[in-house]
Amino acid sequence: MKPRILLLASGDGSLVQAIVEAVQSSKIDGEIVGLICDKPGARVIERAKLAGIRVYLIPISTDRKQWEKEILEATTALNPDLVVSAGFMRILASEFVERFKTINSHPSLLPLFPGAHAVKEALLAKVTTTGTTIHWVDSGVDTGKVISQVEIQIAPDDDIATLHERIKIVERSLIVETIIKLLPTLEKRHV
């Protein structure tokens, strides 16, 4: 039985698309068991449906505890070996990350510039390099152990949009490569 991968995403879905294509081409030897999205109308929903992936839309409500419970219940039912946060712009409950092996892609060289504004903060700090990091998710904000990173140079004429787009290009290949390396090392959750 192939390792079971659950995707979490909130936006456009370019990382999800890279993972889907790698699974479809057998580059990633795993099975995508679903996509959890918190934003109705996010483009990633359309991408997942086109790939035949079941979508679980769980928008965040004013009751954060209820939302966390719904995410946990959906994930428990899917029983993934690996959860991949691919542009999921929410902090997961500590109960979730303690129970499920979860990785995240982040657009900086962690521990530098954690949080939602990493690209902007790198430009404001006037650093000459940044990049992308794949890390284990823990109960903090981008504080989990780094698994892999790729560095890129910041061009003198970069703005938030151009720099973020260049980061996304390397981020897509890095997340696929990281999943390929991780899957054989994971203890299977299913029988």
| Residues recognised as catalytic | 106
Interhelix angle for 160-182 vs 14-24, to 10°?
30
**What's the token pair of residue 10?**
């909130």
Kindly calculate the radius of gyration of the chain based on its CA atoms and give it in whole angstroms: 16
Q: Which of 114, 111, 107, 113 minimizes the C-alpha distance to 152?
A: 107
Helix, strand, or coil (residue 45): helix
**What's the token pair of residue 148?**
């892999």
* CA pair distance 80, 90, nearest whole angstrom: 19
Asked if the peptide bond before residue 111 counts as cis, ω within 30 degrees of 0, the response is yes
* CA pair distance 67, 165, nearest whole angstrom: 31
